[in-house]
Amino acid sequence: MATARRERYRKQTREEAKAVALAQLAESGTAGISVNAIAKAMGMTGPALYRYFASRDELLTELITDTYRDLAETLAQAVADAAPADRFRAMARALRDWAKRQPDRYLLIYGTPVPGYHAPPETTEIAAGLMRTILDACSTVGDADGATASGATASREQQPLTELEAELARHLEGVGSWVPGEEPGGELKGRALRTWTRLHGVISLDVQGQFTGMGFDPSVLFEAEIDALVRGG
């Protein structure tokens, strides 16, 4: 009983520390996250909190891992809830909605890297799972005149791969797979990579306020990017 009580207290303390760290993140970015400042806000000493997080990097890893998992679950749920023909749009919109709701967490994983911090393997694995979701959503996209994904793929197979697709089709030595599960071909990898970069390009500029004062609604630009990606443009 005493052991279970200690474990509950440990978990509660770690969760409270992460909540304070997220508040610091929102106020000052990653540079503002301080274990000693978190401990003070919680009514603890720095050394006492270090019994729960051995270092600032360990705390950052928890925040990053939690963020990746939350985003991965959000996208996976959006895709699961959508009809096959709507999964690509559902995935893209869920990505933007999630980022707009919590821009600080979005920038934690997709913003400027934290100097001196090296992400552990588990964060890389979760990120690979995110790319799997994007790849699967891309595989459901038909061509511009509404053909099914399988019909569009059959048509494309008659065309030579682009330079990018050919590059992605090659397994560069030492790189390995991007994603868990079945390895996608170069054409699908190329489509997923273009999707990932173009969607994140609009979202990153949006959450950082770069469109402010330009006189248009960024959501319209985002929808235009989705339409272009669906058409293969």
**pLDDT one-digit tens code per residue, 77-109:** 999 999 999 999 999 999 999 999 999 999 999
Judged against a pLDDT cut of 60, whether residue 176 lies above it is answered with: no
Judged against a pLDDT cut of 80, whether residue 64 lies above it is answered with: yes
The total of other beta-carbon atoms located within 10 Å of residue 187's CB is 20
Q: Which band of pLDDT confidence, cut at 50, 70 and 90, is reported for residue 169? A: low
pTM confidence score:
0.84
Reported residue count of the chain is: 233
Judged against a pLDDT cut of 60, whether residue 11 lies above it is answered with: yes
Within the chain, where are the H helices? Answer: 2-28, 35-41, 46-49, 56-81, 87-101, 103-110, 121-138, 149-156, 163-169, 186-207, 218-231
Residue with structure tokens 């799997």?
A: 132
| Whether the Cβ atoms of residue 203 and residue 98 lie closer than 8 Å to each other | no
**Average pLDDT in the 62-80 region?**
95
**Average pLDDT in the 56-71 region?**
94
Q: Residue 18: what pLDDT?
A: 96
Residue 227 to residue 218: CA distance in whole angstroms:
14
164 φ, ψ (degrees, to nearest 5)? -65, -45
Q: Which band of pLDDT confidence, cut at 50, 70 and 90, is reported for residue 24? A: very high
| Each residue's pLDDT tens digit, 185-201 | 778 888 888 899 999 99
Judged against a pLDDT cut of 80, whether residue 180 lies above it is answered with: no
Query: For residue 138, with 0-12 CB atoms within 10 Å meaning exposed, 13-18 middle and 19 or more buried, which class applies?
Result: buried
Residue with structure tokens 């970015």?
A: 29
* 145 three-state secondary structure: coil
- Residue 227 corresponds to which tokens in the numbers above? 């339409």
Cα dihedral 76, 82, 85, 91 sign:
negative
Q: Residue 233: what pLDDT?
A: 63
Distance of CA 196 to the CA centre of its chain: 10
Q: Which band of pLDDT confidence, cut at 50, 70 and 90, is reported for residue 142? A: low
Q: Residue 49: what pLDDT?
A: 94
Q: Which band of pLDDT confidence, cut at 50, 70 and 90, is reported for residue 5? A: confident
